[in-house]
Amino acid sequence: MTSTFTSLETMRRALFTSQLSIQTTGHNIANAGTDGYSRQRVNLETTLPYPSVGFNRPQIPGQIGTGVQASTIERIRDSFVDTQVRQEMTKTGYWSARSDALSQMEDIMNEPTDQSLSTVIDQFWQSLQDLASNPDNNSGARSVVRQRGIAVAETFHYLSSSLAKVQDNLKTEIGVNIDKVNGLIRQINDINKQIAEVEPNGYSPNDLYDKRDQLVDELSQYVNVKVIQEKTGGNAPATAAGTYTIQLIARNDAGVSSVFTLVDGKNLRVNPMKVDFSGTSPSLTIDGKIVTETGGNIQGLMESYTVDYPNMLDRLNQMAYQLVTEFNKVHEQGDGIDPDGTGTIPTGIDFFTPLASADNAASLISVSQDIMDSVNNIAAAGKGMGSGDNTNAQALADVLDNTSMTFAMKNGDTYKGTLKSFLESTIGEMGVNAQSANRMKTNSQTLQDTAEQRRQSISGVSIDEEMTNLIQFQHTYSAAARMTSIINEMLDTIIRLGQ
């Protein structure tokens, strides 16, 4: 038969367990607005019944329960939903970087507006048409042609320098974000070390888990990560999450994956990311190994830095080079005018300063010094046709409609057509890419928000639910206290009867 004090011990356990549940509920309520916090729950289990199995067990009708005890305090978390959230955050980070970079490019190109390159080229073409209508000693029309030519060159300069500046800003941002990644993995490793010290002693450091998961979430915005849980050993409870090994998963266009370890949860060390911009293209390495794909924000920035902006700059250089080459070719075939009657007719003159190649042509294009010195050097007349002729002025205007221009880009693409059609194609492609990036950014953000809501429905603190639990635990505590008083009275009666 059990001792009378067994019931008192059972109620003592009930009081302590209810008190622990109330404290945990209060912790949840206090952190209802804390970012990254996961609600916690006390897992209850019955204590060993009396008597245990054995030869000397008393002959009673059955085992008697001995009360309740708290087995663990665990946080409510779904690792599958966590993985979904991080995957969507990686996509959102990538498309946000692409969208922002392409939006800046659209702002610089500024199409279609009165200050855009296409408008400036149209105005240059119109000035040539006006010169063709009145070529005879008209310094006014010739001055407009020169000024419009200068405007074309200055517009190319502005676009080239602005794009190059944004590209340089992207380079800086890549370096800053890599520093952020390295800072995050060091913080995760520091928390790993703390967890490795606590878990073997039989505790589950739930608040450290939350802080670490919040850091992993932030890390997943920059790179595509995979989390592997490592056991800490010792007397770690069954609910222990262990230390985290963080891997970067790089997938190329063929779908082949490469794995790079950022945080080693077993050895409690990190492998920081490094970037080198000294070569022709940036090189990203982890532990001495080259990383070709990172996913996330860094991947989006890298693609904008190495693909989007170089391609646009290359297209501008091709346009500037073809304009200078083809326009000079025609301009050299015409004659200027001799306003002083000296008999010296300027001929064979370049309108633009010749360019050796398309490299940096957009930043180098300029009206030639001969044209800057005198507008009389503008060759509106055909060779030997006299100052009243407009043959060459019409031919100059036709250069912009020359369908035989060939634009050979560095990426291997080739376009044949007019300067204006090539510009329209460039602007159209940029617009489609920017629109696609914006759409994908919105879609991935929506999916991320949906996954976040799903996680909050599991791990988030509901004040209504916690208050319901609080009332339940309060009643349990009160009932256990009342039972303790009754048992105390029973013991008092037994003691007095024995006197």
93-130 per-position pLDDT tens digit = 999 999 999 999 999 998 888 788 999 999 999 999 98
The reported pLDDT for the residue numbered 156 is 96
46, β-bridge pairs: 68
pLDDT digits (tens, 9 = 90+) for 39-80: 999 999 998 887 777 667 666 777 888 889 998 899 999 999
Q: Is 279 domain-assigned?
A: yes
Structural domains of the chain, count: 3
- Report the DSSP pairing between strands 243-251 and 289-290: unpaired
Q: Which residue has the higher pLDDT, 253 or 1?
A: 253
Q: Answer yes or no: is 147 within a domain.
A: yes
The verdict on 226 and 353 lying in the same domain is no
Which residue spans within 47-194 are E strands per DSSP? 68-75
My answer on whether 296 and 316 are in the same domain is: no
Which tens digits make up the pLDDT trace of 270-292?
999 999 998 778 889 998 899 98
Look-up: residue for tokens 């800003």? 169
More confident position, 292 or 247? 247
Q: Which of the listed ranges 198-212, 243-257, 373-387 does the model predict with the highest average pLDDT?
A: 198-212
**109: in domain:** no
> In the chain, what percentage of residues exceed pLDDT 90?
67
Cα of 243 vs its chain's centroid, Å: 26
Same domain for 348 and 361, yes or no, is yes
Residue 139 in any domain: the answer is yes
Instruction: Say whether both 31 and 155 belong to one domain.
Output: no
| Pair 16, 156 in one domain | no
359 located within any domain: yes
Task: Please tell me the predicted confidence (pLDDT) of residue 253.
Answer: 59
Contacts of 280 (CB under 8 A, 6+ apart): none
Asked, for residue 161, whether it belongs to a domain, the answer is: yes
Give the whole-number percent of the chain exceeding pLDDT 70: 95
If asked whether residues 306 and 161 sit together in one domain, one would say yes
Among 301, 327, 360, where does a domain finish? 301
Of 283, 301, 319, the one marking the end of a domain is 301
- Based on the fold, state whether residues 266 and 348 are members of the same structural domain: no
Do 130 and 160 share a domain, yes or no? yes
Of 232, 266, 301, the last residue of a domain is 301
Residue 454 falls within a domain, yes or no? no
323 and 436 part of one domain: yes
| 3-class SS of residue 329 | helix
Confidence check: pLDDT of 211 > 90: yes
Give the pLDDT score at 303: 94
- Over the Cα atoms of the chain, what is R_g? 39
Is residue 144 over pLDDT 60? yes
Q: Which residues pair with 186 in a beta bridge?
A: none
Give me the long-range contacts of 76-82 (CB less than 8 A, separation at least 24): 76/38, 76/39, 76/40, 76/41, 76/458, 76/459, 77/38, 77/209, 77/213, 77/458, 77/459, 78/455, 78/458, 78/459, 81/451, 81/454, 81/455, 81/458, 82/213, 82/227, 82/455
Contact call for residues 368 and 93 (beta carbons, < 8 A): no
Print the domain residue range for 336.
Answer: 126-168+302-447
> In terms of domains, do 399 and 337 share one?
yes
Q: Are 488 and 372 found together in one domain?
A: no
User: Is residue 410 domain-resident?
Assistant: yes
Residues 192 and 229: beta-carbon distance below 8 Å? no
Distance (Å) of CA 140 to CA 134, 393, 482: 10, 15, 107
Shared domain for 328 and 360, answered yes or no, is yes
